[in-house]
């Protein structure tokens, strides 16, 4: 599993299957969810921080 998330100004979350590529835009069936919610943004930011720590530990 891999996360695809953009957090904008700590209040907007953009997430979904979209790969931000030409194929995603022109050929694939993708989904994108835009959430306007500072509390949800915080949850996503915290999840990023959690995954980042795990990734850093796996590089040791």
Which candidate in 2, 3, 29, 60 is catalytic? 2
Over residues 11-16, the mean pLDDT reads 97
Distance CA 51, CA 38 (A): 20
DSSP secondary structure letters along the chain = ----EEEETTTEEEEES--SSHHHHHTS---EEEEE-HHHHHHHHHHHHHHHHHHHHHT-
Active site includes 36?
Answer: no
Residue-wise pLDDT for 34-58, tens only, equals 999 999 999 999 999 999 999 999 9
Check: CB of residue 11 under 8 Å from CB of residue 38: yes
Active site includes 60?
Answer: no
Active site includes 9?
Answer: yes
Is residue 12 over pLDDT 90? yes
Distance of CA 28 to the CA centre of its chain: 18
User: What pTM does this model have?
Assistant: 0.79
Which candidate in 3, 9, 29, 60 is catalytic? 9
């Amino acid at each position: 599993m891999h996360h695809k998330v953009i957090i904008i100004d700590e209040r907007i979350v953009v997430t979904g299957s979209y790969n931000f590529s030409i194929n995603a835009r022109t050929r694939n069936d993708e989904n994108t969810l835009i959430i306007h919610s500072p509390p949800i943004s915080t949850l996503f930011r915290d999840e990023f921080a959690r995954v980042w720590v795990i990734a850093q530990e796996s590089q040791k």
